[in-house]
């Protein structure tokens, strides 16, 4: 029934979402692990798999697919057998949060990270000048939308009966997508996330499939 999926996985990256989903669905797969360089970029070998060279990428038979959202949706459609479907009343929030993740939320985290890296990587004599400039840019462009996004996430989880975004008994597409980003914020800036969000992160971490995914994702080829 299954062709063998290969997940081209970059350490400490969004591709953990894909490993978690595959573990939950118990779909057989192989991991090809790529390590970030000292500049934190993906190695150029990923460019041999897909022209953009960013993780995750999967190959499934003769299909090669990038973009975590597309991959998650593809796997659910092909291998989910209804197991990842949200309840009827949660369909819209599942769709919205899925697209919100990469369309709105992750760019804020990535920009914050880039704005902190620019002064850190500048020649040392420029750092005292660049730090306040980039901290002002962050305060003006990132802090407000990020706080609003995290409040929206908290309010959405508050409305859920089960603690999953779509309100069903199991994680759905929205939960797989929001893992990694929410995990990172909860770990690095716990002061920014509310109690429902913290409980969501803990609920994800407690899942045996998530634990297996993190262990497998760290193993060397
Ligand atoms: N929107 C894309 C983002 C892909 C992306 O930026 N992946 C990061 C890992 S989290 C990456 O490959 N970074 C290394 C690099 O850009 O060199 C997705 O959801 O797959």
pLDDT confidence of residue 214: 96
Long-range contacts of 49-52 (CB under 8 A, 24+ apart): 49/8, 50/8
Q: Return d(Cα 165, Cα 93) in angstroms, integer.
A: 7
Nearest-atom number in ligand 1 for the CA of 67 is 20
pLDDT confidence of residue 4: 87
How many independent structural domains does the chain possess?
2
Answer whether 174's CB lies under 8 Å from 163's CB: no
Q: Ramachandran region of residue 11, left (φ > 0), alpha (ψ -120 to 50) or beta?
A: beta
CA dihedral 199→202→206→210, nearest 10 degrees, is 120
Q: Is 10 in the pocket of ligand 1 (CB under 6 A)?
A: yes
Do 149 and 119 lie in one domain? The reply is yes
Do 74 and 131 lie in one domain? The reply is no
Do 127 and 50 lie in one domain? The reply is no
The rounded Cα 9 to chain-centroid distance in angstroms is: 12
Answer whether 18's CB lies under 8 Å from 68's CB: yes
Q: Is 58 in the pocket of ligand 1 (CB under 6 A)?
A: no
Q: Is 108 in the pocket of ligand 1 (CB under 6 A)?
A: no
Do 141 and 189 lie in one domain? The reply is yes
Do 106 and 53 lie in one domain? The reply is no
Do 22 and 50 lie in one domain? The reply is yes
Nearest-atom number in ligand 1 for the CA of 69 is 19
pLDDT confidence of residue 3: 60
pLDDT confidence of residue 62: 94
Ligand 1 center to 127 CA (angstroms): 27
Ligand 1 center to 54 CA (angstroms): 5
Q: Which CATH number belongs to the domain containing residue 166 in this structure?
A: 1.20.1050.10
Q: Return d(Cα 179, Cα 82) in angstroms, integer.
A: 21
Preceding peptide of 56 cis, ω within 30°: yes
pLDDT (tens, 9 = 90+) of the chain, 221 residues, equals 556 899 999 999 999 999 999 999 999 999 999 999 998 999 999 999 999 999 999 999 999 999 999 999 999 999 999 999 999 999 999 999 999 999 999 999 999 999 999 999 999 999 999 999 999 999 999 999 999 999 999 999 999 999 999 999 999 999 999 999 999 999 999 999 999 999 999 999 999 999 999 999 986 54
pLDDT confidence of residue 153: 98
Ligand 1 center to 15 CA (angstroms): 8
Do 62 and 146 lie in one domain? The reply is no
Do 70 and 156 lie in one domain? The reply is no
Q: Which CATH number belongs to the domain containing residue 42 in this structure?
A: 3.40.30.10
Ligand 1, from 8, 54, 73: best to mutate by most atoms within 8 Å of Cβ?
Answer: 54
pLDDT confidence of residue 37: 95
**Phi, psi for residue 83 in degrees, rounded to 5:** -75, -20
Do 75 and 92 lie in one domain? The reply is no
Q: Return d(Cα 4, Cα 61) in angstroms, integer.
A: 7
Ligand 1 center to 20 CA (angstroms): 17
Do 130 and 190 lie in one domain? The reply is yes
Do 70 and 95 lie in one domain? The reply is no
Please tell me whether residue 148 adopts helix, strand or coil conformation: helix
Do 41 and 79 lie in one domain? The reply is yes
Ligand 1 center to 56 CA (angstroms): 7
Please tell me whether residue 9 adopts helix, strand or coil conformation: strand
């Amino acid at each position: 029934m299954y062709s063998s999926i290969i997940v081209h996985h970059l350490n400490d990256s969004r591709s953990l979402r894909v490993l978690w989903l595959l573990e939950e669905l118990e779909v057989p797969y192989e991991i090809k692990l790529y390590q970030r360089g000292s500049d934190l970029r993906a190695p150029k070998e990923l460019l041999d798999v897909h022209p953009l060279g960013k993780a995750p990428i999967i190959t499934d038979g003769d299909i090669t697919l990038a973009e975590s959202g597309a991959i998650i949706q593809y796997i659910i459609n092909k291998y989910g057998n209804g197991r990842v479907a949200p309840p009827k009343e949660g369909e819209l929030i599942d769709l919205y949060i899925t697209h919100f993740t990469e369309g709105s939320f992750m760019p804020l985290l990535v920009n914050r990270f880039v704005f902190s890296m620019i002064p850190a990587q500048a020649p040392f004599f420029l750092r005292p000048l660049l730090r306040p400039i980039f901290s002002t840019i962050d305060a003006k462009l990132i802090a407000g939308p990020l706080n609003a996004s995290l409040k929206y996430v908290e309010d959405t989880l508050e409305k859920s009966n089960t603690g999953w975004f779509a309100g069903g008994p199991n994680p759905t597409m929205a939960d797989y997508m929001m893992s990694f980003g929410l995990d990172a914020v909860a770990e690095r800036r716990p002061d920014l996330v509310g109690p429902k969000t913290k409980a969501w992160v803990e609920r994800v971490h407690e899942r045996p499939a998530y634990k297996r995914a993190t262990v497998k994702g760290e193993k060397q080829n």
